[in-house]
């Protein structure tokens, strides 16, 4: 078959594959009412990895039903766990029969979800050996793991890279004073990995420049319920006194602050008053302050926020920072709001300087965003216009959905499998608020 025919065949197959993905069809919508937020994806994943630290049963409640959660379930099953997941409750037990290979997290699963790399620490601590595929980069950035490896080596792990796998062994981890700050500040999953390794290490581990995110606090809360001795969680200095063994646990996952922030952005962009419930408002201070700075009224309850945009939004300058700064995972969503604000805004992306894949797609909807390295300058416009746009990653796809709800006319958001990774039934939640959104299964 000549080259031309091969190319034509390939492009037909690619086109069929490309169209074989679900898409959203969305029309301009006003929203109204109350939305209940699910459990946090980014709190669930390290806690699921922590079950590797014990052979006893762990019951984890309020787990969101997401693709990333199901991927982590598959990884834990390969690593020797038996798992039941029903109605947002995970029951994790140790398999009775094992093959002896339950320390290898395979590339075919790890490459689909970088967070699986945080199995390395607990595996090493509990089984003294681990082989976890190196996670690749992704569209938001290179995603290095040097801090993870640095911390584990300081605890006494010997780590080699073999055929794309990170193969770690130890005779027994020993507590150490570890500085975990990197070029971009603290690292959430590196902190999680090192804490989970240190809880079974001999002696005291001090982790300096630890991540302060709520997801780290919730992980440590669970580890302490399992019998670990940890203090300083939520601050840049975490102290761990190693213990010999950890027991099972029953725990509930904290609310997803990024999902909550996504709905705040949807409220601002569509100029719709919303009540967002089942949240911890303390995890959203920087986001609430930003919404207020844009002119919205935010009334904070014990576990809710009522947002009333009140008309035209004001431009603001946004810089993403480690917690408690403005979260990088809400940068794309709030960019859409700023595209509809009066005046010029500046976004500085300090965590993932390349996290602007959404800019080109938003500009195709009539926005005026100029990216320059880690900066994006946004000239506010009166309107956005519906178009066929393509999701590139989890949070960018959420931003495109928000843009579609605010835009004139009809928008098709392609490749919504990205959004399924991190939002539990988002179209159902939006439809209940009055959104004109439907999923077209390909
Ligand atoms: C967590 O990723 C979140 N994922 C990300 O959310 C979030 O964007 C990120 O933290 C920052 O808040 C989960 O919790 C599962 P990092 P993580 O290590 O831990 C650099 C989403 O949309 N770095 O805190 O992998 C890194 O390049 C996802 O839900 C190193 O240099 O991120 C980045 O610039 C996307 N060396 C900065 O640190 C390392 O060894 C922060 O990354 C590790 C990270």
**Protein residue whose Cα sits closest to atom 20 of ligand 1:** 184
Stated pTM of the model? 0.95
Output the CA 320–ligand 1 centroid distance in Å.
Answer: 12
Ligand 1 close to Cβ of residue 395 (< 6 A)? yes
- Provide CATH code, domain 22-37+255-440: 3.65.10.10
CB 439: neighbour CB atoms within 10 A?
17
Of the candidates 230, 229, 221, 216, the one whose C-alpha atom is nearest the C-alpha of residue 249 is: 221
CA distance 63 to 243: 28
Query: Is it true that the peptide bond before 398 is cis, omega within 30 degrees of 0?
Result: no
Q: Find the distance separating the first CA and the last CA of the chain, reported in whole Å.
A: 30
CA distance 432 to 428: 6
CA distance 424 to 253: 14
Please tell me if the domain spanning 22-37+255-440 has the same topology as the one spanning 41-252.
yes
**Protein residue whose Cα sits closest to atom 28 of ligand 1:** 329
CA distance 16 to 11: 8
pLDDT of residue 18: 47
**Protein residue whose Cα sits closest to atom 13 of ligand 1:** 42
Ligand 1 close to Cβ of residue 187 (< 6 A)? yes
The tokens of 157 are what?
A: 């792990």
* Element (DSSP H or E) covering residue 210: none
Query: Is 151 in contact with 178 (CB distance < 8 Å)?
Result: yes
* Nearest-atom index, ligand 1, CA of 258: 29
Q: Report domain 41-252's class.
A: alpha beta
pLDDT of residue 141: 81
Q: How many CA atoms lie less than 13 Å away from 204 in the CB half-sphere?
A: 7
Q: How would you classify residue 336: left for phi > 0, otherwise alpha for psi between -120 and 50, otherwise beta? A: alpha
Sequence length of the chain is: 442
**Protein residue whose Cα sits closest to atom 39 of ligand 1:** 145
CA distance 340 to 337: 5
Ligand 1 close to Cβ of residue 232 (< 6 A)? no
pLDDT of residue 102: 84
Output the CA 187–ligand 1 centroid distance in Å.
Answer: 6
pLDDT of residue 7: 55
pLDDT of residue 262: 98
CB 92: neighbour CB atoms within 10 A?
25
The tokens of 65 are what?
A: 């039903």
CB 100: neighbour CB atoms within 10 A?
6
Of the candidates 62, 59, 40, 38, the one whose C-alpha atom is nearest the C-alpha of residue 50 is: 59
Active site amino acids: 138
Output the CA 290–ligand 1 centroid distance in Å.
Answer: 22
The tokens of 52 are what?
A: 């590797």
Domain spans in the chain, listed from the N-terminal domain onward = 22-37+255-440, 41-252
> Burial letters for 159-174: b for 16+ Cβ neighbours within 10 Å, e otherwise?
beeeeebbbbebeebb
Show Cβ contacts of residue 12 under 8 Å, excluding neighbours closer than 6 positions: none
CA distance 263 to 119: 31
* Element (DSSP H or E) covering residue 238: strand 237-241
In tens digits, the chain (442 residues) has pLDDT values of 566 666 555 555 555 544 457 999 999 999 999 999 999 999 999 999 999 999 999 999 999 999 999 999 999 999 999 999 999 999 999 998 777 788 888 889 888 888 999 999 999 999 999 999 988 667 788 789 999 999 999 999 999 999 999 999 999 999 999 999 999 999 999 999 999 999 999 999 999 999 999 999 999 999 999 999 999 999 999 999 999 999 999 999 999 999 999 999 999 999 999 999 999 999 999 999 999 999 999 999 999 999 999 888 999 999 999 999 999 999 999 999 999 999 999 999 999 999 999 999 999 999 999 999 999 999 999 999 999 999 999 999 999 999 999 999 999 999 999 999 999 999 999 999 999 999 998 7
């Amino acid at each position: 078959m000549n080259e031309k025919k091969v190319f034509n065949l390939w492009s037909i197959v690619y086109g069929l594959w490309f169209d074989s993905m679900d898409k959203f069809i969305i029309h301009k919508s006003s929203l109204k009412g109350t939305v209940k937020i699910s459990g946090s994806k980014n709190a669930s994943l390290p806690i699921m990895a922590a079950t590797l630290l014990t052979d006893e049963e762990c019951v984890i409640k309020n787990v969101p039903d997401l693709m990333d959660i199901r991927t982590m379930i598959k990884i834990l099953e390969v690593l020797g766990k038996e798992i039941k997941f029903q109605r947002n409750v995970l029951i994790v037990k140790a398999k009775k029969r094992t093959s002896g290979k339950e320390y290898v997290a395979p590339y075919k699963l790890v490459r689909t979800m970088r967070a699986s790399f945080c199995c390395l620490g607990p595996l090493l601590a509990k089984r003294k050996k681990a082989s976890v595929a190196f996670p690749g980069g992704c569209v938001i950035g290179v995603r290095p793991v040097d801090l993870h490896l640095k911390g584990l080596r300081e605890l006494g792990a010997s780590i080699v890279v073999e055929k794309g796998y990170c193969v770690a062994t130890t005779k027994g981890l020993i507590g150490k004073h570890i500085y975990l700050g990197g070029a971009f500040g603290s690292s959430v999953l590196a902190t999680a990995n090192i804490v989970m390794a240190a809880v079974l290490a001999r002696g005291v581990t001090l982790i300096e420049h630890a991540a302060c995110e709520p997801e780290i606090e919730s992980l440590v809360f669970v580890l302490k319920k399992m019998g670990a001795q940890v203090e300083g969680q939520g601050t840049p200095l975490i102290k761990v006194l190693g213990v010999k063994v950890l027991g099972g646990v029953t725990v509930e996952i904290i609310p997803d602050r990024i999902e909550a922030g996504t709905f705040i952005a949807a409220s601002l962009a569509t100029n719709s008053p919303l009540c967002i419930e089942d949240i911890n408002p303390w995890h959203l201070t920087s986001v609430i302050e930003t919404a207020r700075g844009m002119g919205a009224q935010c009334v904070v309850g014990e576990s809710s926020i009522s947002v009333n945009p009140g008309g035209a939004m004001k431009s603001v300058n946004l810089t993403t920072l480690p917690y408690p700064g403005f979260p990088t995972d809400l940068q794309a969503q709030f960019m859409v709001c700023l595209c509809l604000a009066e005046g010029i805004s500046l976004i500085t992306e300090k965590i993932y300087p390349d996290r602007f894949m959404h800019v080109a797609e938003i500009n195709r909807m009539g926005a005026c965003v100029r990216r320059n390295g880690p900066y994006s300058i946004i000239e506010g416009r009166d309107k956005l216009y519906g178009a066929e746009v393509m999701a590139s990653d989890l949070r960018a796809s959420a931003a495109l959905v928000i843009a579609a709800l605010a835009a004139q006319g009809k928008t098709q958001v392609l490749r919504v499998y990205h959004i399924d990774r991190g939002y539990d039934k988002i179209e159902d939640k939006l439809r209940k608020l009055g959104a004109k959104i439907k999923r077209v299964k390909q």
